[in-house]
Amino acid sequence: MDGSDSAFGGQLTSTFFDESWIPKCSPLQGRYLLRLQNAFLRDAYAALSPGGSVIINLGGRVPVSLVKEMFVAAGYQYQELFAMLKVQLQPEWVLGGYARAEKKYHVVFDLYRFDAARKKFEVLLRDKNISTLELKKILKPFHVSATEGLKRLVYGHERIGHIVQVIRGVKKPAISHGRF
């Protein structure tokens, strides 16, 4: 049995999901394809004690301020643990999906000309203490949208990269309005 008769039959990637299963999120989070991350943060919140943590490995293709806002709105303190530039795996599939989202939602995802950036900033990019915001500033000359990145991949055989972040969300203690 190949699973073609299941709800997920015919899906080519593990990132498929039925949007009707996901709770509502802000329109901007939806446009930047953060529905699943938002749902995870909100679902995990109920299972955590104050001070408990969640960890998300997130591609830094979206505005950092939007990610921070998502964590705070879900009741967490945002802590970036690690950020680095990495080459995009399965670029034909991934860049195509992001390029379609750029066109559909009128947003731009942050991708980078990987080899050019690595060649210029190889030593700096190995620094374990560079934040995503700092990386985005450093990498700005190599920035491409997903649409441009896909063209560079297909026509120029250029490798495209993105920032990856490891983010910790710490559940904030409930605010007490009672008397002590």
Residues 6+ apart with CB under 8 A from 21: none
Q: Which tokens is 44 given? A: 């995990």
Look at residues 73, 27, 36 and name the one whose alpha carbon lies nearest to residue 56: 36
pLDDT of amino acid 122: 74
pLDDT of amino acid 37: 92
pLDDT in tens, the chain (180 residues): 444 454 445 444 444 445 555 667 888 998 999 988 999 999 999 999 999 999 999 999 999 999 999 999 999 999 999 999 999 999 988 999 999 999 999 999 999 999 999 888 776 666 668 899 999 999 999 999 999 999 999 999 999 999 999 999 999 887 655 554
pLDDT of amino acid 6: 47
Pairing mode of beta strands 160-171, 76-87: antiparallel
**Side chain identity at 30, as an amino acid letter?**
G
pLDDT of amino acid 25: 81
pLDDT of amino acid 20: 57
Pairing mode of beta strands 143-144, 53-59: unpaired
pLDDT of amino acid 1: 41
Look at residues 22, 46, 21, 20 and name the one whose alpha carbon lies nearest to residue 34: 22
Q: How many CA atoms lie within 13 A of 149 on its CB side?
A: 34
pTM: 0.82
